[in-house]
Homo-oligomer: A and B are copies of this chain.
Amino acid sequence: MCESNVYLVDQQGEKTLVMESVDKVIPKEGDVYLENIFGERLTVKGHIKEMALVDHSILIAE
């Protein structure tokens, strides 16, 4: 499966895992909507900073 883990990155560059196995990612005016393969949904404040799909990593910065 090709889902990713989503991390929140703070100004110090510290990463916090916010959701695993994310399938859908939809940015929306200051928020990012996430949905994982288990059907869990989460909206995180911030914007997409960087995605590295082969590493299964998506970074969201506030």
Which residues from chain A sit less than 8 Å from chain B, CB to CB? 1-4, 22-27, 37, 47-54, 56
Whether B54 contacts A26 by the Cβ 8 Å rule is: no
In the complex, which residues of chain B have a beta carbon less than 8 angstroms from the beta carbon of A22? 53
CA distance A56 to B25 in the complex (A): 12
The number of times this chain is found in the oligomer is 2
CA distance A25 to B52 in the complex (A): 7
Whether B53 contacts A3 by the Cβ 8 Å rule is: yes
Whether B54 contacts A37 by the Cβ 8 Å rule is: yes
User: Given the interface contacts A2-B2, A56-B2, does A47 sit within 8 Å of B23 by beta carbon?
Assistant: no
Which residue in chain B gives the minimum CB-CB distance to A4? B53
CA distance A32 to B20 in the complex (A): 24
